[in-house]
């Protein structure tokens, strides 16, 4: 069996090979946004402030990723390949964090092998982490958030509270909507600490935790409304309105919600799971019309199997030992739910799946390996 470190380095070099195709027509078509960020950084280096017309680049020129890329180009040269290498080395760091997470969970060799096999070679991950885009950075900081949270929960490390907060803040700088994800993970961690080593949630926990969660929820909704989206019309109306705006741009890979037009008090309760399902599994089989669609469909099938293994494992594993894995899986569902709110295109969805890929690979293959070993023992006996 190939060692995890070997798979990581093979994934690293496969991304360098992919980056060498930068500039080819297929690369430009699939990763158009990467050329947009490259253009912003290159223009900032060569023309300075006067070259950045805010009516063209909007606020992107002042975002952390554009600033980092501009700084890199200033220190080296504004080659697209340099931007690619930047993302690739960040991906390498993210893989190292995944390795540390698996060691914390005491995963067996089979789990590590399967996790890194797909972490390194998923086509959508290779494409989106080998170009000048934010996905590699979002992937790194999401992994760091989970690692820090596990160190706090499993090892009671006070220092990792600081790392957790810093990672949450930096993640939000790469996409403002991810501030909400970091905040929810923070609240989940606080609740998990209250539940540590308990098979039931004591009444005293409700007395302290429920008011705190309620206060934080109201506070975070206010921040989310002011900084990201205006929620004055309600969450459902805001999401639908935003999605209608994205669907106005006609594209082959656009998809519309199954329950568009549903009204009434249960509209949000019905919309969220249906919208999440489409985000996770589009394109549907009857919409497949290209080789890329086939590749994405295969990735969707893998995602569905891993979700099944997670649910099966969580229902059959000891309550206390499964909590770290439940934490990771819930973080994955929350992250994907947030992404699904603003996604109506399965090409864009394939990019948004990348930052959370470790959060489904780790628990999915962990439970799959445990199930496989249990079946093997039964056969032997």
The DSSP call for residue 366 is H
Instruction: Write down the pLDDT at residue 264.
Output: 53
Give the whole-angstrom CA distance, residue 116 versus residue 98.
9
Residue 366: pLDDT band by 50, 70, 90 thresholds?
very high
Q: How many CA atoms lie within 13 A of 326 on its CB side?
A: 19
Hey, which residues does 345 pair with through a beta bridge? 254
| Average pLDDT across the chain, whole number | 81
Q: Distance from CA of residue 34 to its chain's centroid?
A: 18
Q: Is 207 exposed, middle or buried (0-12, 13-18, 19+ CB in 10 A)?
A: exposed
Instruction: Write down the pLDDT at residue 354.
Output: 96
Residues 280-339: tens digit of each pLDDT: 998 888 888 888 889 999 999 999 999 999 999 988 876 656 889 999 999 999 999 888
pLDDT at 85 over 90: yes
**Contact of 303 with 353, CB cutoff 8 Å:** yes
Most confident of 6-10, 27-31, 76-80, 176-180: 6-10
Task: Flag the least confident range among 181-195, 223-237, 330-344.
Answer: 223-237
Q: Which residue has the higher pLDDT, 113 or 59?
A: 113
Hey, which residues does 254 pair with through a beta bridge? 345
Mean pLDDT of 72-98: 94
pLDDT at 378 over 50: no
pLDDT at 12 over 60: yes
Give the whole-angstrom CA distance, residue 15 versus residue 43.
26
Give the whole-angstrom CA distance, residue 379 versus residue 381.
6
Give the whole-angstrom CA distance, residue 145 versus residue 304.
24
Give the whole-angstrom CA distance, residue 355 versus residue 203.
37
pLDDT at 104 over 90: yes
pLDDT at 100 over 50: yes
pLDDT at 250 over 70: no
Residue 84: pLDDT band by 50, 70, 90 thresholds?
very high
Nearest to 100, CA basis, from 21, 190, 5? 5
Residues 34-47: tens digit of each pLDDT: 888 888 888 877 76
In the chain, where the domains are located: 1-133, 135-176+178-227, 250-381
- Share above pLDDT 70 across residues of the chain, in percent, rounded to a whole number: 71
Residues 130-145: tens digit of each pLDDT: 999 999 999 999 999 9
Mean pLDDT of 8-32: 81
Instruction: Write down the pLDDT at residue 376.
Output: 54
Q: Any residues with CB less than 8 A from the CB of 175 and at least 6 apart, and which?
A: 134, 138
Instruction: Write down the pLDDT at residue 262.
Output: 56
Q: Is the peptide bond before 321 cis (omega within 30 degrees of 0)?
A: no
pTM > 0.75: yes
Q: Distance from CA of residue 77 to its chain's centroid?
A: 30
pLDDT at 374 over 60: no
Mean pLDDT of 209-214: 60
């Amino acid at each position: 069996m190939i060692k995890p470190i070997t798979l990581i380095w093979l994934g690293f070099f496969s991304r360098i090979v992919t980056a060498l195709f930068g500039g080819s027509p297929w690369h430009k078509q699939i990763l158009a946004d990467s050329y947009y960020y490259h253009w912003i950084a290159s223009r900032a280096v060569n023309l300075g402030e006067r070259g950045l017309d805010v009516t063209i680049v909007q606020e992107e020129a002042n975002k952390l990723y554009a600033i980092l890329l501009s700084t890199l180009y200033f220190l080296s040269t504004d080659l697209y390949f340099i931007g690619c290498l930047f993302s690739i080395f960040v991906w390498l760091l993210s893989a190292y964090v995944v390795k540390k997470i698996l060691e914390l969970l005491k995963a067996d060799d089979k789990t590590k092998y399967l996790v890194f096999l797909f972490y390194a070679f998923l086509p959508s991950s290779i494409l989106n982490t080998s170009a000048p885009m934010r996905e590699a950075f979002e992937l790194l900081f999401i992994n760091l958030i989970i690692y820090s949270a596990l160190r706090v929960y499993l090892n009671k490390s006070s220092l990792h509270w600081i790392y957790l907060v810093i990672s949450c803040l930096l993640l939000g700088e790469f996409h403002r909507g991810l501030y909400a994800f970091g905040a929810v993970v923070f609240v989940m961690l606080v609740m998990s600490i209250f539940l540590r080593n308990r098979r039931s949630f004591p009444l005293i926990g409700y007395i302290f935790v429920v008011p705190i969660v309620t206060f934080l929820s109201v506070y975070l909704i206010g921040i989310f409304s002011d900084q990201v989206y205006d929620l004055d019309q309600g969450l459902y109306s805001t999401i639908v309105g935003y999605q209608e705006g994205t669907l106005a741009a006609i594209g082959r890979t656009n998809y519309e919600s199954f329950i568009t037009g549903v009204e009434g008090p249960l509209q949000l309760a019905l919309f969220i799971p249906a919208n999440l399902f489409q985000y996770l599994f589009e394109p549907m089989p009857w919409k497949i019309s290209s080789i890329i669609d086939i590749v994405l469909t295969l990735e969707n099938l893998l995602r569905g199997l891993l979700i099944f293994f997670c649910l099966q494992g969580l229902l059959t594993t000891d309550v206390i030992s499964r909590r770290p894995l439940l934490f990771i899986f819930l973080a994955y569902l929350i992250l994907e739910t947030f992404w699904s709110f603003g996604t109506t295109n399965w090409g864009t969805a394939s990019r948004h799946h990348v930052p959370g890929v470790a959060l489904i690979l780790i628990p999915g293959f962990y439970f799959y390996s445990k199930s496989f070993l249990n079946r093997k023992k039964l056969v032997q006996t």
